Amino acid sequence: KISEKEKPTGRGRKDDDEPDEASGNVSTEEQRPGGDLPSADWNGLNDQTDDAHLYLNKFDSYFRMLDLLEEKHGCQVIKFPLRKLPAIGKCKMHILKTDGLPRCMSVARVTIGASSYYLLEVDTSDASKALSTKVIFVNAIGDIEPHLFEMEKQLLRSSLSWPKEHFDKLVGDGNHTWIPHQKSDRDGALLSKDTEKWAQRIQLKLR
C-alpha cells in the first residue's frame, strides 16, 4: 500500500503542491488508498486519433521505469494507448511549447502483490511546470477509461495541475495520491541509474 505518512491538505485545492523543479525526495502528502466511487461527466470534443504513438519518445524515461517495475520489482504493468490531451476552449496547455506537438498523457495499471494502481503521467518535457505522477487506487474507480477525458479537461482547467477536488469527489480523498519525479541533472531523459532509482522508489511507495 501507499505510505501511511500523511499531511493534511486543503479541500478544493490543486494536487500538485510541489517545487518548480521536480524533486528526488518522496512527497509528504501521499495518501493511503481506501474509499468509494462517485462519477462525473462533461460533454466536449476529444481528439484521440491513432497517431499518438508518434509521441512516445517524450516518455522514454518513464516507460523504461515501468519496464523496470516488471523486470526487477515483481510488478505487473499494463500500458494503455498513449493519449493526446484535448483542446479545451482557448487553453493552449495541450500543446508543447518547444515544438508545437500535442502534449500526451500515459495511463498504466500497476499491480504489486494484492493491490493495483493506475499511474497517470503527463509529458512536461517543455518544462512548463513540474507535475508528479498521479496514482489512483484501482478498487476505488474500477475501469478508468470512461473517466479519463474528464480528468484531462480538469487537468487543463487547473493550468496543468492535478485537480485534487475532482479526484476527491471521484474516488475519495484517501484513494489517490502523487509521487514526484526522479531528480535529474539534465533536461530530458534520465540517466539509467536515475531511472532505476525511480522504479525502486515507485514500488516502495505502492507496497
pLDDT of residue 115: 94
pLDDT of residue 36: 32
pLDDT of residue 4: 43
Per residue in 94-131, pLDDT (tens digit) is 888 777 888 899 999 999 999 999 999 998 877 767 78
Rounded Cα distance, 64 and 192, in Å: 9
pLDDT lower than 70: segments of the chain: 1-58, 128, 184-189
User: pTM for the complete prediction?
Assistant: 0.75
Cell, residue 170? 471521484
Rounded Cα distance, 167 and 152, in Å: 12
Q: Which residue stretches of the chain are H helix?
A: 60-73, 138-141, 145-157, 164-171, 192-206
Classified as helix, coil or strand, 178 is: strand
Classified as helix, coil or strand, 195 is: helix
